[in-house]
Amino acid sequence: MAKRRGLALDGVLLLDKPVGLSSNHALQRARRSMDAAKAGHTGTLDPFATGLLVCCMGRATKISGAMLDADKAYRATLQFGEETDSGDLTGHVVARAAEGYSVTEDALREVLARFQGVIEQVPPMYSALKRDGKPLYEYARQGIELERPPRQVTIHRIDLLSLSGTRAEIDVACSKGTYIRTLAQDIGRALGCYAHLAALRRTHVGPFSLDRAVTLEALQAMTDPKQALLALNELPAGLLPAKQTLKDPL
């Protein structure tokens, strides 16, 4: 019996990815809910992270290139006092602050100001960047650390939302290629107390906002999940290469 491919749906699903799922697993669950034949996402979130995952169905996959290059925004929770090998809460602690350390609001605001604008970041070993055809995270899992040249990224805005004891919450608007895990680590080092990312939530990707996103649970509970799709004519101007591409075959 021939395998059924699903429906030829065209549109964009703004998905609020839950914690614990890879971006691809979240995408595939959404695709199955809508019975879509063709789907892809436009920028990976780590399994521990939540928030906006832009899922493109059918001919909407033509916006993928523009979305990968788009600016993004995040809400991040920093845990001070410990640095991990992955830069986030899933890693092993590799450095700890001296006993009795503290982080004041004035000191934190001063350090955050240093990271606004064009900065250089060393990509983390736990990343999908490749060396000799193999992702860096595969080397990291073998205990191998490779030299990585710094890369320029832009932090358009970084706002302190709260500071409570050893945790702070910040909003970050940044260019493509920015690693928030690395930003957390660098902020901790600048403060002299180490830090790692305790939580991460993506709030914006280019013109798309988490405000219009649907959770996987809500999508799966819908009588007609296809209603959650943004149609091609609802997409912000300039995302699709040209109007005639809408007529192109899949």
Residues serving a catalytic function are 46
CA separation for the pair 116, 159 (Å, rounded): 10
CA separation for the pair 42, 66 (Å, rounded): 9
Bridging pattern class, strands 82-84 and 130-131? unpaired
CA separation for the pair 247, 249 (Å, rounded): 6
User: Across the chain, where does the E strand assignment appear?
Assistant: 11-17, 39-41, 50-57, 72-80, 82-84, 93-96, 117-121, 130-131, 134-135, 151-164, 167-174, 195-205, 208-209, 214-215
Q: Are 7 and 35 in contact (CB under 8 A)?
A: yes
CA separation for the pair 72, 208 (Å, rounded): 9
- The residues that bridge with 71 in the sheet, in sequence order, are none
Helix (H) or strand (E) holding 188: helix 180-191
Q: What is the 3-state secondary structure (H, E, C) of 101-142?
A: CCCCHHHHHHHHHHCCEEEEECCCCCCCCEECCEEHHHHHHC
